[in-house]
Amino acid sequence: MTESDTDQLGPADTPVFAVADIGMTLDADGGYWPTAVIDVGPGDEAITDLARVHAVEGVGDIRTEAAALALAPEQVTEEATHLFVLAIMVTSPVRCTFGISFVLPAQGRVLSEAAEHGHLVIATTSPDEVNAAVDVPGAIPPLWLAIDIDADLLARAVAELP
């Protein structure tokens, strides 16, 4: 996605990816990173390429915003009462905006952990795929995007959830 493409995108054109799974990623230094696995399909190469761009060009500028949305009464279950949308705006080294949606309360734990740690890993491939690549000599596992988040803002948003 080029800068001129993203400048012309409106809210209806901003992709929002569903969180398929949550967990923690263990880094090489023994640190734990709250992780959200998103379902990225064909045509979403710009999102899957962000981790590589940030690895090559540097982290750049990322801003996040969050909002909780109540589900319609007919959609409410014990595990799903709200959607929590985390909007991610990247302004350098590339420009793009996207969102990831969490089902609450089922996936709320990772939001609390991200607020506590001040960062979140966004995985664009399944952990099983990464583990399989690690076991193959010479294979390079897919990169995931680690972002810093506004921990205070996220903590307040999480605290206000029902």
Q: By C-alpha distance, which of 147, 107, 103, 104 is closest to 124?
A: 147
Residue 134 pLDDT class (50, 70, 90 cuts):
confident
Q: Which residue has the higher pLDDT, 67 or 160?
A: 67
The model carries a pTM of: 0.83
Q: pLDDT category, 8, cuts 50, 70, 90?
A: very low
Cβ burial 15-37 (10 Å sphere, 16+ → b, else e): bebebeebbebeeeeeeebbbbb
Looking at the chain, the whole-number percentage of residues with pLDDT higher than 70 is 92
The answer to whether the CB of 104 falls within 8 A of the CB of 83 is yes
What does the domain layout of the chain look like in residue ranges?
Answer: 3-159
CA angle (107, 109, 110) in 5-degree steps:
80
**Tens digit of pLDDT for each residue in 73-129?**
999 999 999 999 999 998 888 888 999 999 999 999 999 999 999 999 999 888 777
Predicted pLDDT at 5? 42
Contact (Cβ atoms closer than 8 angstroms) between residue 102 and residue 84: yes
